[in-house]
Amino acid sequence: MKKICKFLICFIILAACQTYAYADSWGLHFTKDNERPQGNATAEYLAQFDAYFIGCENEKVLYMTFDAGYENDLTAGILDTLKKHEVPAAFFLVGTYIRDHPELILRMAEEGHIVANHTMTHPDMSKLNDKSSFAKELSQVEEHYKNVTGQDIPKFYRPPRGIYNETNLKLAKELGYKTIFWSAAYKDWEDNNQPSREEAFSKLIPRTHPGGIILLHNTSKTNAKILDELLTRYKDMGYRLESLFHLIEKGAVSPTALGTGSVPNWKTP
């Protein structure tokens, strides 16, 4: 009986470890203000799959990115602020958003922003491990973007809720996509529990670091209110704000520094 119990315990532990290795949710660990955080996978590991969570540490550059699954009548104002500051951004949008708001999509494209792929239905992508199912979630977004703009969508992809596995990373690369995670964010996505201005800045400013990929939601009333001041403060801190195309050009790691290291699955509060 003791042998059977030991066997069962070992089996459960092994199964748990395999599950953990199979799917993960992107998380960050900040050790010191204004320094680069650790992700639950290293930049070197992600680089094998044309995936990024951070840019080059030798430049005081930031990359503004926004996620949205729906419109909250705030995006036009956010675009006004980005235009005022001449800041390019990337908007990771689901397919229905692109289909239902062509005027905003056209404006984003015309004003130099990237409209990027956040999947058609915002599923847990780690459950889609065959190429046809995975590709369908991305190709439907591509079709909506082309219907609206007449152009091919820029090949940047962000997994919904940051949930991914290694198979997803490989499939995205095979489909020509760069997978983009983030290195700074805060809890801004709950419509009925929006952070105050003070709470937002207390999270965002200490998490600012060279090469930072900033994730905000353009559904957030707080973000719409603070964006002008936030961009001003970033510039006052000596940062310039660039497009994700700049990130790809500069990279996050040396092309020869491709390891497989990872760190525990921390979450960003």
Q: Active-site positions?
A: 67, 217
Q: Is the separation of the CB atoms in 92 and 118 below 8 Å?
A: yes
Tokens of 18: 């395999």
What is the dihedral sign for C-alpha 104, 110, 116, 117? positive
CB of 156 closer than 8 Å to CB of 92: yes
Spatial separation of the C-alpha atoms in residues 33 and 218, rounded to whole Å: 25
- Gyration radius of the chain's alpha carbons: 19
Residue 197: Cβ within 10 Å count: 12
Residues 30, 234: Cα–Cα separation, whole Å: 19
Cβ atoms of 46 and 169 closer than 8 Å: yes
DSSP 161: G
Strand ranges for the chain from DSSP E: 24-25, 28-29, 38-39, 51-52, 61-68, 89-93, 114-117, 156-157, 163-164, 178-180, 212-217, 240-241
Q: CB of 229 within 8 A of CB of 199?
A: no
